[in-house]
Structure 1
Amino acid sequence: MAKLYFVRHGKTEWNLARKLQGKNGDSPLLEESYLETALLGERLKDISFAKIIVSPQKRAVLTAQTLIEEFNEVPPISYDAGLKEFGLGELEGVLIESAIERYPEQMHHLRNNPHEYDPEEFQGETYPELIKRSSQVVNEAVAQHPNQDLLFVAHGMTLVTLIQTLSGKPLEQIRKAGGIDNSSLSIIEVSDAGYELILWNDTAHLDSFK
């Protein structure tokens, strides 16, 4: 059966500084992130991916480029805005603590109650909007490459929402398993029955780096 591999980009300066980094914000990867991503690339190097689909944001692009440097065979790569990070509107680049102070209820819902999250006050994106655009990317890729393995490189909020939705979780449950780590790997298996999550937020490749 075909598998879908999902990689979150390496840790950035804004991640370290605890700044919100959405679909318009961006910051450089930390130097250690290139080393961590290379270890993940080594883990994936023997898989024959039909395609790699990457968020066009710089932190994801650099992560993908570092991954393929380790691959034995480099597949075609495309960039799709549907995989960009969750749009946080006026809060992008703001310290997480400051955002919580300004919008305590919505920041709580963002992480814990997606079905109650309403970002209208700060012109953010809604969960249904994120689900629609990101799921479309995956479903179209699977239709175009049936029975073939695919690799997606994107962002934390986007990937948590996308992976849990594909695996059948309703909106109110997509945050129950928590977030995913930088440079982590998650895998969904594709069959006639649909999508099944078989690996979640795995960082075993980083054990030698710790």
Structure 2
Amino acid sequence: MTRLYFVRHGKTVWNLEGRFQGGYGDSALLEESIADAKKTGKALKEVAFTQAFSSPQKRAKDTATYIIEESDQVIPLTEQDGLREIGFGEWEGQLFSYAEELHPEEYHNLRSHPEKYDPSAFGGEDYLTLIERSQQVIKEAVKKYPNDNLLFVAHGVTLITVIHSLLGENTREIRSKGLLSNTSVSILDVDTNDNYSVVAWNDTSHLEK
């Protein structure tokens, strides 16, 4: 049995401002989020991780680094481009209201009907492409590190997309439980038959301590 720990990066300036922060946009972690990332590391201190993976984007890498530092373990960290956030094209860095005004149907579909979401008009990335690249990272890691504990630090849309798809759910269910909270922990187990099951979902109890 392999156990997968998924952590969304800490809250950033753009998160606070309500801006799109996709696969090619970035902003700094808030001070409170650095503290939350450290709390996450302390909460995972008893888990013996073999390997950690993060998106190459700074907000995810920084979160992963704080977690590892606080875990008191030597955990190798590998950047994986497949863990980038979904690409938002021309929406990157813009306020949510910008997309809602210019592309109201796709703004609605992004959040409520992912199976209908078509970002081609503004150069964005669709969910099926995101599923393919993110699943590849997870499945290769599971194959390489069987029966180990693995840490993945990435982004809101990327994580819910890959988790729901690994559980065998279809595209329309990706947003059914909303986004994961910043620095939350979600856990999946994988058996030898490549069956995935939920152990924990969007756990933020460690942030309240």
TM-score in terms of structure 2 length: 0.97
- Provide the identity percentage: 50
Whether the 8 Å CA contact 1:51–1:75 is kept in 2: the answer is: yes
Q: AA paired with 1:137? A: V
Q: Which residue of 1 is the match for residue 90 of structure 2?
A: 90
Deviates more, 1:186-195 or 1:86-95: 186-195
Q: Which residue of 2 is the match for residue 146 of structure 1?
A: 146
CA distance in 1, matches of 2:140, 2:2: 15
2:67 is the alignment partner of 1:58: no
Alignment gaps of 5+ in structure 2? none
Q: Which residue of 2 is the match for residue 159 of structure 1?
A: 159
CA distance in 1, matches of 2:26, 2:8: 14
Name the Cα RMSD after superposition. Answer: 0.8
Alignment gaps of 5+ in structure 1? none
Q: Tell me how many residue pairs correspond in the alignment.
A: 208
SS at match of 1:177: coil
Instruction: For residues 176-200 of structure 1, give each alpha carbon's deviation from its aligned partner in whole angstroms, at most 9, with x where no partner exists.
Output: 1111111111000111341112211
Displacement of 1:174: 1.3
Displacement of 1:101: 1.1
Q: Which residue of 1 is the match for residue 23 of structure 2?
A: 23
Whether the 8 Å CA contact 2:3–2:189 is kept in 1: the answer is: yes
SS at match of 1:187: strand
Displacement of 1:98: 1.5
Whether the 8 Å CA contact 1:46–1:72 is kept in 2: the answer is: no
Q: Which residue of 1 is the match for residue 10 of structure 2?
A: 10
Displacement of 1:45: 1.1
Whether the 8 Å CA contact 2:2–2:142 is kept in 1: the answer is: no
Q: AA paired with 2:48? A: S
2:199 is the alignment partner of 1:198: yes
Q: Which residue of 2 is the match for residue 45 of structure 1?
A: 45
Q: AA paired with 2:53? A: I
Q: How does 1:65-84 map to 2 (within 5 A)?
A: 65-84=65-84
CA distance in 1, matches of 2:69, 2:176: 34
Deviates more, 1:192-201 or 1:4-13: 192-201
The 4+ residue runs of structure 1 with deviation greater than 2 A are none
SS at match of 2:40: helix
Displacement of 1:57: 0.2
Whether the 8 Å CA contact 2:55–2:80 is kept in 1: the answer is: yes
TM-score in terms of structure 1 length: 0.97
Displacement of 1:2: 2.2
2:205 is the alignment partner of 1:207: no
